[in-house]
Structure 1
Amino acid sequence: MTKRPNEKNERLKRRFLEYRKFARQLSDKSLDKELTALERFDLWNGRKDFAKFHVQWAMGFRDHLERAKTKTGQPMSKSTARAIMTTLREFTLWLSQQDGFRSRIRASDAEYFNLSRRDEAEARAAPARPAPSMKQALRALEIVPATTPREMRDKALFGLLCLTGIRISALISLRLKHVDLDDKSVTQNPREVATKFGKSMHTFFAKGFPEAEVALRAWITHL
């Protein structure tokens, strides 16, 4: 049976996440992942008071992650384990700087939340993601219908994706004013477009996709 949350631990988690959000400028999505990592560690450790931290906890948790399985029964990926350990390392480092913890936790204790060198190298070696070739993308553009307004929109969006390689979250938040057909470019204003890390970007169309430009122009003209 799962122990009830430790109120002291919960308050520390909340303060840490506030620090990460406002001082480290993490997104809500990243904060959710960090909260999940903290909760996983807290549950594994039986909700013991963080103030009683010992490096044995970190070493035991690393062993736990090495044996952990996913919902499908597969071993946890090294990249996932690395992300969890990174959160715990940052949390421990933050704790070592808080009043009431400086004499109990040293900054060097955070280093125990590290994977082995082999696992760290495996976590960093991200496998190449499969992607369609230009020939496949052109073929898809060719067969996508554009007889109704919805089909015109879909083809224009797919065309813009081919032309710019823009992130999906940014693509669906673009406005007409961000697309310059004459300049063959897209301006991603982070105040209005969901760009990664809130960065401003100016992207020019890739060559080799004339049908994509035709579809994009047709949709903008229709609007």
Structure 2
Amino acid sequence: MQTTNADAMYDHQNRLKRRLSRDDKTIDAKLRHIRQFERAIGAIDFRAITEEKILNYRLSRESRLESDEENSLSASTIVHALGDVTEFLEALATQPGYSAITRDLIDCLKPAKRTVQLAHGPSDTYSPPLEHILAVIYALPAKTIWERRDRAVVAFAVLSGARASVIRTLRLKHIDIENRTVFQDAKVVDTKNSKTMLTSWFPVGLDIERLVIDWIKESRSLGAGDEDPLFPKAPNKIRARSGENTFEFWSTIEPIRAVFVSGAQLAQVPYFNPHAVRHTLTKLMFKFATSGEEMKAWSQSLGHDDLGTTFKHYGTLDSKRVHSLIGAIRERLEDPTRLDLAEQIKNASPEHLEIIRGILRLGNSNLSLGM
């Protein structure tokens, strides 16, 4: 029986799931990249792939890097796509009938050095000021129950710092209003790396807390129970007409993203995705936390065991803020009464020493500071 491209992709899907134990979300992303590759090479049989086809595919991806066009791609997306296709072709090359897929052919997918550097460099994700997030929340209408749900979704994102996948799968029982906590139970909640954790609400305002609390109370007043979704999808028209209250989970995070898109348009602020809110919360940590211990607590509520993770992936400052901070340091050092560095370290609290250690680890410094 003739093996088709569809058969090859199906076999690869099974290999990823059964032999490599990849999760469904990862598998879907990899298969999407492989299907894009198939379309880019004209849907020819994979056994007929040529060097020219592969090079054209790679160059077409990289030509969209940092493009001003709507179909531009990030360096990270390009590297991941090329990596997923490489993994697929490497597996395919070991199968009978695919001996024409050589190592030299596969190596044509290797991304340019600059693309790799950009992909692994600091993220330039837009992190909106808190004022923009609040503008989005209050720009969203709140006349219907589903409009109030949407407004509560954005409020909960900044209140909890939860990822969109978590917001989609949380149940009402996971929210403790009295103690202001969220229990992210990996058994039923789609957490990163299947990690279970208890996180606290961030101090972003009592009005934001009230929007979330009011939504939970309204949801329960309609008959929602502990096991029902925190943010259910709207029922279809037939069920809505029947008056039957049903509470179903969203199947993807796209409706959550759509709420943020709509809110940004209504508030007339730059669009930011749900994950960008976590960057905003990190910058609020720098503003509000007054000790290393408070920073550690804030970091753990973002789901980071290591404070260095928060600094490295979420703590990047824009150039204007860097300039302002360096200027403040310069003014402070011009004070003749200042302590020198060694004296400051000698008198530092344990919390401040922890911060210094984290910064040194990130910078791979060889300076021990006597620690």
TM-score, structure 1 normalization: 0.71
Match of 1:211 among 198, 207, 210: 207
Name the structure 2 match of 1:178.
Answer: 174
Helix, strand or coil for the counterpart of 2:6? helix
Distance in 2, Cα, partners of 1:61 & 1:176: 46
Distance in 2, Cα, partners of 1:157 & 1:53: 46
Identity of aligned residues (%): 25
Deviation per CA, 1:63-91: give whole Å up to 9, x if none. Answer: 34345699x67555443332221111111
Name the structure 2 match of 1:3.
Answer: none
Distance in 1, Cα, partners of 2:123 & 2:205: 28
**Does structure 1 conserve the Cα–Cα contact (< 8 Å) formed by 2:93 and 2:101?**
yes
> Which consecutive unaligned segments of at least 5 residues does structure 1 have?
1-5
**AA matched with 1:90:** E
**AA matched with 1:128:** D
**AA matched with 1:92:** L
Helix, strand or coil for the counterpart of 1:91? helix
Q: CA deviation at 1:47?
A: 5.0
Matched, 1:114 2:106: no
Name the structure 2 match of 1:14.
Answer: 10
Deviation per CA, 1:194-216: give whole Å up to 9, x if none. Answer: 33454323221112422222333
Name the structure 2 match of 1:168.
Answer: 164
Matched, 1:79 2:76: yes
Q: CA deviation at 1:178?
A: 0.1
Distance in 1, Cα, partners of 2:96 & 2:9: 15
Name the structure 1 match of 2:314.
Answer: none
Q: CA deviation at 1:186?
A: 0.3
Q: CA deviation at 1:218?
A: 3.6
Distance in 1, Cα, partners of 2:150 & 2:72: 38
Helix, strand or coil for the counterpart of 2:11? helix
Distance in 2, Cα, partners of 1:8 & 1:28: 23
Q: CA deviation at 1:9?
A: 3.0
Matched, 1:192 2:198: no
Distance in 2, Cα, partners of 1:200 & 1:94: 34
> Which consecutive unaligned segments of at least 5 residues does structure 2 have?
221-371
Name the structure 2 match of 1:158.
Answer: 154
**AA matched with 1:170:** V
Distance in 2, Cα, partners of 1:77 & 1:118: 12
Name the structure 1 match of 2:89.
Answer: 92
After alignment, is 179-188 or 59-68 more displaced?
59-68
After alignment, is 165-174 or 132-141 more displaced?
132-141
**AA matched with 1:37:** H
**Does structure 1 conserve the Cα–Cα contact (< 8 Å) formed by 2:181 and 2:201?**
yes
Helix, strand or coil for the counterpart of 1:194? coil
After alignment, is 174-183 or 108-117 more displaced?
108-117
Distance 1:120 1:147, change over 3 A: closer
Distance in 2, Cα, partners of 1:199 & 1:29: 16
- Count of residues paired in the alignment: 216
Matched, 1:130 2:126: yes
After alignment, is 145-154 or 196-205 more displaced?
145-154
**AA matched with 1:85:** L
Distance in 2, Cα, partners of 1:221 & 1:151: 15
Distance 1:140 1:54, change over 3 A: closer
Distance 1:28 1:202, change over 3 A: same
Distance in 1, Cα, partners of 2:79 & 2:86: 10
